[in-house]
Structures are given as C-alpha cells and as structure tokens.
Amino acid sequence: MSKLKPEKIIVSKSKDVLKLIYKSEREITLTAEYLRVFSPSAEVRGHRSSDYILQVGKKNVVILDVKTVGLYAIQIVFDDGHDSGIYSWDYLVSLRENYDKNWNSYLRQLKNENKSRLPDIQILKIK
C-alpha cells in the first residue's frame, strides 16, 4: 500500500474540484478538468505514447462519482461519460507535483492544433 494514500477525499459542492487530505495535514487540490485531461486511461493515453489523444472541450466537465479501487487508487466518473481511468495515489501526487509543466504543455498542444478547452468551440486559423 502506498504511503501516499489520503485520509479523506472530498469533491467540492460544484463538483469541479477534488481535494485529497493526508494524515500529515497536507492537501492536494486538483480540478475536474485537469483530472479529465490527464486521465490515466488507455482511452486518453493509449497503449503507447504515440497513441495519446488530445482532450478538447473539457473546461466545464464535473465529477459525478469517485470510487475506491482496492487500497491503491480511485476511479473518477465524469459527466461526459468518461469513467475508465484508474488514478493511483502515486499518480495523483505526481499530477499535483507536475501541474505547471503538464498544464502548460496541454495549453500549447491546444493552441498548436487550433483546439479549445471550451466545448463546442471551433477555432479557425485565417491565413
């Protein structure tokens, strides 16, 4: 069992933030959008790094449910129907520790592909 297992898992009333609280009183806060975009599922990450699928239109996604998976992880159910990611305690800590790098990379990818975080938005590049 990971030493990184939280004591409490709290979903905000607005369902757009997940908070993990640890014995040491350390807290990790992650948004639903960030968790959805960086889901560890094969549907998002693929089976190889070249299979990665850029997630678009996830700005308003919310968490419908959080289920424990054994003693090592949680499964998050999102309102867009995605529910196949298994988030280990170690992966959740890694997401927090690498937030700036991950998020900035994601925003660059969206820009490079003329995609949006907003649902139903198409970005056209005029030359």
How do residues 18-68 score in pLDDT, each as one tens digit? 999 999 889 999 999 999 999 999 888 877 777 789 999 999 999 999 999
CA-CA distance, 43 to 84, in Å (whole number)? 8
CA-CA distance, 2 to 24, in Å (whole number)? 14
User: At 1, is the pLDDT very low, low, confident or very high (cuts 50, 70, 90)?
Assistant: very low
User: At 106, is the pLDDT very low, low, confident or very high (cuts 50, 70, 90)?
Assistant: very high
| Structure tokens belonging to residue 67 | 């289920």
| Structure tokens belonging to residue 53 | 């699928």
Q: Tell me the CATH number of domain 8-112, given options 3.90.850.10, 3.30.2020.30, 3.80.10.10, 3.40.50.300.
A: 3.30.2020.30
Domain coordinates in residue numbering, the chain: 8-112
